[in-house]
Structure 1
Amino acid sequence: MVGTAQRGTGDGDRGDRPDPATEAFLRHRNLLFTVAYEMLGSAADAEDVLQETWLRWSGVDLDEVRDQRAYLVRVTTRQALGRLRTLGRRKESYVGSWLPEPLLTTPDVADDVALADSVSMAMLLVLETLAPIERAVFVLREVFDVGYDEIAEAVDKSQPAVRQIAHRARAHVAARRPRQVVSPAETRDALDAFRRAVETGDLQGLLGILAGDAVLLADGGGIKQAVLRPIVGGDKVARLMTAGWGRVGHRASMEPTEVNGYPALIVRLDGELDTVVAVHLEAGRITGLYAVRNPEKLSHMGRETLLRR
């Protein structure tokens, strides 16, 4: 994409530095990817949005752009909104539960508590319940602190309308978002206990770490075997996990990792990446268990993704 863009060849002092348009785009690329990913929950679609943003940006007269960051965020938002509507139609025919695409994230994402919370699996699932415009407004305002005037331009609404949408989206998210921010250390401890119980087939140990109303969501995308509907209840989830592990235990291994700003587990089957497991924790117990098996959603687990606000 941008890596193959034409480089400046004007004077010798520039050497192989990118041209000004490429330089500006690269400077904001991680921010733009994060905006698109939070709106879409899909890294692949976020990359496509960045490609479309770059194509539009490369034809712009930079002398006419007062604020490059605001301009790029505006273009990215518009492209993501179009993609979000397409994605919504695609989800209607999706096989089984749809989960966001997990990202292998750098340690500094966890250090930014607000960013980590906004890209967590649990929060991305809450954002899925918003209408496209509501999601765009919420993400830009609450996560990236974009001004109402800039948001209004990005979503083609008046400022009063954007303020109303922001208020409505904020109330909607507040009613559904995780009730407390859980530290990475707490999540890591819970995952360690979960992993030990699953590996040893310790049903009581699993029941001890799972909340009574725990929910398991699994995304195989119709490609890999996975439960098609949410499994509700700690007892049901625990029995399913121990039975499933019993079938593949000698071929599978679990290893800790960092996904979407929080500790998670990678499950390898015969040494190959098979599943990414993320969790949501409340009061020290796992209330949400998210298992992504769809191989089309695991392509970003081979390298760390830089997320920025």
Structure 2
Amino acid sequence: MKKILVTGCNGQLGRAIRKEYENDGVEFINTDVVEGDGVVSLDITDVDAVLKLVRETRPDVIINCAAHTNVDKCEEQWDLAYKINALGPRNLSIAATEVGAKMIHVSTDYVFEGNGTRPYTEFDEPHPISAYGKTKWEGEKFVKEFAAKHFIFRTAWLYGDGKNFVKTMLALSETHDELNVVCDQVGSPTSAVELAKLIHHLEPTENYGTFHATCEGDTNWADFTEEIFRKTGKTTKVNHVTSKQYKEMNPASADRPAYSILEDYMLKLTSDYRMADWHDALDVYLKGLEG
């Protein structure tokens, strides 16, 4: 029976991964920062703790869903962000290589500065502009250096079972007649379910490397919000504001990439697999919320 160790198992992607594999007869070693029902407490920033658990359990695959994803907090908590987003993947990669496991690491569109005019491919050089992006880029480099067999999946605008943009907008619509949403940042909203499907598809293969992994199509945050409201029958008005205007209203917010559309180029070159269009993935997600 295949053994898969998942870090950040209670996060949006961690939950989607477990659900995606539920009919495979896989033995999961579920880990997160807090111990719980069937969940082992693991601090991925502690290399000794990581090595101890991996040596004891000897997984075939390690899927790292753990990250410090609060973009604004990362600016204030550089050391913590670096430990979680860079040293954590490093420690897991060292352990994976020791036991011969495949290492799957999830990264982000924030590794790019976001001033492009065409979708970024895996061959474009990262230039992150935020602490979050910088630490995630360092994490990627450690995975490449220490994991003999690795997949790196860069995703963007992720939403799933947990706190996310879609749920936040729906909750705000219950108490607001209008909302200010940024209109000059573009990207590809991506369902955690779709990302989990892609990981499930590539994990058994030896098609190693870095993959962009976002749903097809693109939009901006304001139009995305309007589409969420349209599909759910909400009448809240969406005011389109620029990043500069939003920054003036929220001075503590970190810089975000203005253009972070990722092209799933390596996937298209090496596989027939395609991720769903973001509109279709959103339909599936919203239908699940209704249920």
Q: TM-score, normalization: structure 2?
A: 0.30
Judging by fraction of residues, say which structure has more helix.
1
Which structure has more relative contact order (CA 8 Å, sep 6+)? It is: 1
Larger radius of gyration: 1
Q: TM-score, normalization: structure 1?
A: 0.29
